Amino acid sequence: MEMRKVAVLGAGLMGHGIAQVAAQLAKYEVNLRDVKQEFLDNGMKMIRDSLKKFVDKGKISEEEMSETLDRIHLTIDLKEAVADADLIIEAVPENVGIKKSVFVEVEKFAGRNAIIVSNTSSISINELASAMHRPERFCGLHFFNPPQLMKLVEVVRGTETSDETVDVVVEAAKKMGKEPVVVKKDSPGFIVNRILIPALNEALYLVWEGVADRDEIDKAVRLGLNWPMGPLTLLDSVGLDTALAILEIFQSELGDVKYRPCPLLAQMVKAGLLGRKTGKGFYDWEKK
């Protein structure tokens, strides 16, 4: 199956970056859809800013930037976005109800041969597939933030996902400049978040128990484990609310005490200290 046109549903933090790599590297025609024009305009601004940085660094030419932007088409009409798309990438908020309702609508308008994927980082692929008439043409395609720079994608197989679907999605990911890994079995958090989120939670417990201060914990992990940023800085970047939601899914589905969210995390989320997205978390991002 040859991919020519991609639809990206959601122009936010992840969606705009996915649309960019699909248009820039794979040279797909991309329909970028969101529910409000202002969201689309903001997404395109982020794409332009990202491409401009590549131009300034000599990674791409002004002509390549212009050609990439020309391949991205904005719409608030779901039918227009997906009707002729070969690959439909869902990147809406990390809420199972919202995602399922989107898939129900998408299947009304998408072609029978279209492959639909979810960029979910934690929600069960099988649960999402339960809302679909053609689950064999559905799988997870989890990009990492920012999609323009991070090489990894997780291709997550559901119970009914066909081999052909996995093969096509893997090849599409490679065309987008990614290094795909296939997750053979649907499991909460897939590979990376299954390892990462409990580690971040453990860093929270170190703060909660008074074992070490914020800066010392971040410094220790950066220098001792060679992470590009410390765990508390990373939590601020991911969003503390997102980390809490993933831990709650782990605890619910895996039922192990080791996934119990640190009380400090719940307290900070209640206080609206979510990290970079709100300006304050463990660090003051307004000052940064």
What residues are labeled active site? 121, 142, 154, 193
Give the position of tokens 């936010």: 12
CA separation for the pair 182, 191 (Å, rounded): 9
CA separation for the pair 201, 260 (Å, rounded): 8
> Furthest-apart CA pair in the chain: how many Å?
56
Phi and psi of 164, rounded to 5°? Answer: -60, -40
Task: State how far the alpha carbon of 67 is from the alpha carbons of 24, 57, 72, 92, in Å.
Answer: 8, 18, 9, 26
